Chains A and B, each alone.
Chain A
Amino acid sequence: MPDSAAPSGPAPAPSGAQRRRSPLGHSGEEIFGAVVDPRVLRRFVAFLAPYRWIIVASVVAVLAFTLTQIAVPLIIRYVIDTALPAGAAAGSREAERLLGFAVGGFFAVVAVNFISNYCQQVWVATTAERVLLDLRRAMYSHLQRVSLSFMDRTQVGQLMSRLQGDVGSLQEFLESSIFAVGDLVLLAGIIVVLLALDLELGLLTLSVVPILVLVRAIWLPAAKRAFIRARETSSIVNSALAENINGVRTVQEMTREDFNFAAFREKAAENYRAHVKATRLAQVMVPTVDTLTGAAMAIVIVVGGNRVLDGSIAIGIVVAFLFYVQRFFDPIRSLTMQYSVMQQAMASGQRIFEVLDVPVDVRDKPGAPDLARLAPAIDSTVEFRNVTFGYVPGLPILKNVSFRVDPGETVALVGPTGSGKTSTMALLHRFYDVWEGQVLIGGVDVRDVTQDSLGRRIAMVLQEPFLFTGSVYENIRYCAQGAGREQVERAARAVGAHDFIARLPRGYDTVLGQRGVNLSIGQRQLLSFARAIVADAGILVLDEATASVDSFTERAIQSALEKTLAGRTGLIIAHRLATVRNADRIIVLQDGRIVEQGTHEALLARGGLYHRLHAMNVASFDDVPAEVSAVAADQRT
């Protein structure tokens, strides 16, 4: 993006590097740093409030489901210890009756299991899905209102990763925390049941648990490092691949293929090594858990068997123990996993709330009226009255600027980079509020009316013609939903875009590629003109394109400009000489002050900054060498 594309902080900007620094924290994967942050948790809970009843219901379902899981070995135990031995005592009839009773109970448990299982999972997952949507919408609608300077300093990719990745990890966290409740209950339930069935055998069997916890505690940090490393190398490989794909033409031009291949191979090999190492570490846990399970089973067999031998417990208890031992390690495993999910969620939560906390500076006054009610569209006089404004306190960009543009008049703003041209436009649209003075439209202070009505009064043609994915028709109409086909076509004709649109494969219905790649810059600029005409506003603001347009397109744009401005209040931020000459009046800005104004001829005759710029025959005012403006500044003092 050219330097002047945005009111990018204090001018002259100290250096690109500083200017570009993102206002959001660096969104690296700082998983280690993140611990449970109560503030994040509290705010997250606020997003859950609308769903509290379904969450309560989910927890109930999770508990019911967990209880059915605990119940199954108990039923088996009942069959073995009560139903089957009844055969010897009371005859096989009675045994069969008891067995039938037990199996009936089993079926009842299965029914509860089925219903609770389905409900818990569906409720939890859909709630998590909805919370994700709410979070994303909150961020998105907030971004529609935060100050433009924030948006300028923030990369789209960074915001997108918060709108997608981070909400995703909070969703996952919500889902897994409800299931974690189930895991905890399962674990506690198993422990209670084991101890209740037989205290001694229970304690002995549970003795393997601390070992597992200890092993995992030692293992986890190392494994996590390996996992993170593996993920990092993957993203290094992928971004190298992506860069090479995007820059493939340059690569081939410079015949860098072999060199790049060697460099890529090294990255891919590193990725390979990191993944294999991570696998090795992950797999170490498998025989560990298996060994501990085996040990627990061995304890049950030896100790339990002996207790059966001396008649102190029944055989069914041993069988139940064997079943529980097999289930035992699952909740421990998922609970330790839950810990890293939570850490990730905390980091994501911080990033999300960081976005939501970006202040909204410009708001409608309570009960602010429509601009149209106070000033009719024909009276679209623009007036700046002693305006002082800046982005950083103490560093004003505009200093006591006053000027007036009447309906039907076109005024060009000229000046070197950082002189305050773009800021002037931003104030007119009330993207920011002035520090001192007033911006008036038709005699009404822009702060006294709704931003919406203000927006309808002003149409802007931006420096970078931005097109949305969609048809040519949709792009020209944009948000003027009322505009019909005819109106769109009339606008296109007025700016001289109709001919090339008609030649497109499907005319106005041709779908533009990514950002309009299938059109030339000049053509995109013409569409953006047409869009401003359809908006049919009393004031037209034009931020002229810096990317130098060829002489052929320039002619088309010039005539489009004249037609668009007819009868409107026109303000042009001029970057190129050609445009300026056609303006009714030229205002020359420097260091936030108006240094000269008048017609082209008058200013040339005056021999000031404008004359110097003109004499240089610079292609655009943005590339003005520093010495010229310095000399001009000297002259003024």
Chain B
Amino acid sequence: MNSPPAPSPAATASAAGPAARSAIHGTDTLVPSLDGDYQRGVSALWRVLRMALRYRVRFPAAVLAVIAAGVFQLLIPRFLGQAIDQAAGLLSGAQAAGGTAVAAAQAALVTSALLVLGIAVMRGLFTLAHNYLAESIGQSFGYELRLAFFEKLQRLSFSYHDRIHSGDLITRGMLDIEGVRRFIETGIMRLFQLAVLVGLGAWLYMGQDPVLGLLCLSFVPFAVWRGTVFRLRVRALWREFQERMSVLTRIMEENLAGIRVVRAFSAQQHELDKFDEWQRRTLEPAVESVRVRYLNTSMMTCAYFVAMALVLWYGGLRVIHGDITVGELTQFLVFMTVLQMPVRQVGLVINGFARASVSGARMFEILDIEPAIRDRPGAASLAIGNAELTFDNVSFSYAGFPGERAVEGISFTVRAGQTLGIVGPPGSGKSTIAHLIPRFYDVTGGRVAIDGQDIRDVTLDSLRAQVGVVQQDTFLFKTEVRENVAYGDPTAEDDRVVDAADTAQLHDYVAGLPEGYDTLVGERGVSLSGGQRQRLSIARSVLLTPRIVVFDDSTAAIDAGTELRIRDALKELNRTRATIIISHRLSSLMHADEILFLEAGRIVERGSHAALLAQGGRYRRLFDLQMGAARENALA
């Protein structure tokens, strides 16, 4: 079984540069390899835009609605000005002309009023349409991204999740999807709105009176410039603030979670000093960004009013000299009020673009990863017979630690009805072996086979259906006990759940809970002790009846008596399946058919319990150490 180690491909690869290495190690790699944030941001933006264009009806409809709303918006000053002229112009002429002219003037006023009302209603309706459409596209967009992100995360292999902080993924899933989603509304649509109002407005009003039109728009370049500068500055401050805030958050969180340490060392003052220091530091960028922001808005408002004063002055002169009417002057002044809001939002548009490019890049970074562990094209289902698991000269290194072999030259066979025990100091590679069996990681040398089929040649689903790993740390989902036990098979009937819990010696405890199997566990519910969690984890695997089961130090927190009862209950099941027990406690695995003693990733001793004892090596020493207590007992 112990063949001499073949020249492993990983050994040659480690010299061949990072690209080759990651290809061989099968780590999850990024498909696009662009240089620089900027380029990535731009390409992300294009991709978001292309995705938006896929909404073939809603997207063009939204754009049309924006344009229509802008046009109606621009018509309002027109008709208001016209109405003023009707009232003012007729003031001098109508009285002289007598009754019919007054009646005609009144009729004209009513017409203007109805037109203004109609235009206002239309503007409202089109605004509603474009806001609604933009939001609905954004939401569809968010929905799709969210699903794609979720699905991708579920498929990414352990080696990826080892490297990335879960908090980072959660942030991406919450904030970055939001950033991309809002781009349609705050980025694209507002840009169109701005373009229509300024562009069409300039054309309309400058055509009428170039100088006045120019004066009306004179504050726009200033506002755009300030808006841009301001965004850049505030973004930098914001990032600074976020960074400091996250330190402060961490300080508070650690203080509260570690309050016993704080109290035990009477370190309250020390902690308050730290807190004050970082509170002060968060205040700096916060106050600074307040200053920058409001200096900016005040300047923009100021520029706007200065432009208006100039329009009033120059327009007044033109009226005095009889070049234009009062109504026309009014028209220009009202036009300015139309421009005020959208121009102020230039910063928002820029922000929308910036945020979408950053968030988009971060999203796509995840979405574009190809999971390292996936079905080979045309992979068949695992054909299970005797459940014979073979490790054939297996070696493995974790991504990021290419030089360090987590395990090396591991060979063994275990089949249905047999038990293999694995023991060794922390970090000797025991859990690594457990993780290679369901292909949580792919071996970097040698092969793992079940009933003669290399596990890389069969589908993941069929493999994992036959392999159960009971971990030391049990993750509890925030739901009822029942669902937690039946996690692997949500359709399991109640009696199967109860049976599984019973086998794992958990039933009595659960039955004693106020709501039995309906009791909530996790954050808001009952908290389980370490031993109870481990028993729950065992129950989970019992329910699934895999043909190969690995107990990865999964009874460490369970007392010896209970463990014995669990082992008895499992006896029947174990006849039809291969069992691997990893444990520090020798009493858990001394009945195994073969025991491997691992050290630094290699098998240093192997054999049955009796043989290993007779050998008088490391196993023997460990046994003596652990049995010391028991012997003393016997003497007493």
Contact = CB atoms under 8 A, between A and B. Distances in A.
Nearest to B108: A305
B302 A294 contact: no
Interface residues of B, number: 159
Nearest to A145: B268
B70 to A, nearest CB: 14
Contacts of B575: none
B305 A110 contact: yes
Contacts of B106: 305-306, 309
A248 B475 CA distance: 9
Contact of B279 (A113, A136, A248): A136
A622 B636 contact: no
A63 B627 CA distance: 84
A466 B132 contact: no
Interface stretch (B15-23, B25-33, B88-96, B609-617): B88-96
Counting chain B CB atoms within 10 Å of each CB, which of A117, A284, A309 scores highest? A309
Given A279-B135, A305-B109, A551-B625, A17 B513 contact: yes
A96 B320 contact: yes
Contacts of A305: 83, 86-87, 105-106, 109, 112-113
Contacts of A260: 154
A116 to B, nearest CB: 9
A47 B135 CA distance: 40
A87 B117 CA distance: 34
A99 B313 contact: yes
B530 A2 contact: yes
A192 interface: no
Interface stretch (A214-222, A387-395, A448-456): A448-456
Interface string B262-289: 1111111111100110010001001100
Contacts of B80: 297, 301, 322
Contacts of B95: 311
B387 interface: no
Interface in A241-270: 241-257, 259-261, 264-265, 268-269
Interface string B60-82: 00000000000000001000100
A44 interface: no
B114 interface: yes
Nearest to B330: A319
Contact of B150 (A141, A241, A287): A241
Contacts of A283: 127-128, 131-132, 135
A555 B299 CA distance: 71
A259 B306 CA distance: 63
A102 B312 contact: yes
A71 B153 CA distance: 59
Contacts of B293: 121
Contacts of A238: 170, 173-174
Contact of A129 (B140, B286, B294, B527): B286
A268 B530 contact: no
A114 interface: yes
A618 interface: yes
Contacts of B523: 155, 157
B513 A15 contact: yes
A13 B169 CA distance: 38
Contacts of A136: 279
Nearest to A73: B333
B321 A92 contact: yes
A479 B558 contact: no
Interface stretch (A398-406, A437-445, A457-465, A590-598): A457-465
B210 interface: no
A631 interface: no
Contact of B295 (A118, A160, A466): A118
Contacts of A455: 263-267
B123 to A, nearest CB: 6
Contacts of B125: 287
Contacts of B407: none
Contacts of B283: 129-130, 133
A265 B148 CA distance: 10
Contact of B109 (A251, A259, A302, A459): A302
A269 B139 CA distance: 10
Contact of B561 (A76, A322, A616): A616
Contact of A308 (B88, B113, B253, B557): B88
B320 to A, nearest CB: 5
A275 B259 CA distance: 40
A291 B121 contact: yes
Given A20-B526, A160-B252, A244-B154, A144 B268 contact: yes
A109 B305 CA distance: 9
A365 interface: no
Given A148-B259, A302-B109, A460-B265, A259 B477 contact: no
Given A126-B287, A291-B121, A306-B109, A255 B461 contact: yes
Nearest to A155: B523
A82 B312 CA distance: 14
A547 interface: yes
Contact of B87 (A315, A454, A577): A315
Given A140-B252, A458-B264, A301 B109 contact: yes
Given A110-B306, A276-B136, A618-B559, A245 B440 contact: no
Contact of B154 (A102, A242, A248, A466): A248
Interface string A459-480: 1101000101100000000110
B207 interface: no
A12 interface: no
Nearest to A241: B173
A286 B131 contact: yes
A462 B298 contact: no
Interface string B526-560: 11111100000000100010000000000011111
Contacts of A95: 320
B2 interface: no
Contacts of B329: 80
Interface in B90-147: 90-91, 94-95, 102, 105-106, 109-110, 112-114, 116-121, 123-125, 127-128, 131-132, 135-136, 139-140, 142-143, 146-147
Contact of B527 (A1, A83, A272): A1
B531 A623 contact: yes
Given A121-B294, A481-B270, A578-B629, A92 B153 contact: no
A625 interface: yes
A624 B529 CA distance: 13
B301 A117 contact: yes
B256 A318 contact: no
A230 B299 CA distance: 37
A236 to B, nearest CB: 12
A17 B481 CA distance: 13
Contacts of A268: 143, 146-147, 150
Given A17-B525, A297-B116, A462 B302 contact: no
A45 to B, nearest CB: 22
Counting chain A CB atoms within 10 Å of each CB, which of B113, B155, B262, B308 scores highest? B113
Contacts of A96: 317, 320
Interface string B234-269: 000000000000000110111111111111111111
A468 B271 CA distance: 11
Interface in B433-489: 438, 440, 460-461, 464-465, 468-469, 471, 474-475, 477-478, 487-488
The 9 closest A-B pairs by CB, nearest first: A455-B266, A294-B120, A290-B124, A287-B124, A254-B488, A460-B264, A16-B526, A298-B113, A479-B267
30 contacts: A15-B514, A17-B513, A17-B514, A20-B525, A103-B313, A117-B298, A121-B290, A125-B294, A250-B471, A253-B464, A254-B544, A264-B150, A294-B121, A294-B124, A297-B120, A301-B109, A308-B91, A323-B333, A451-B266, A460-B264, A462-B264, A468-B258, A469-B250, A479-B265, A535-B265, A550-B426, A550-B584, A604-B636, A617-B630, A618-B561
Given A283-B127, A283-B131, A305-B83, 8 more contacts: A143-B259, A250-B474, A265-B147, A279-B132, A287-B124, A298-B114, A301-B113, A618-B560
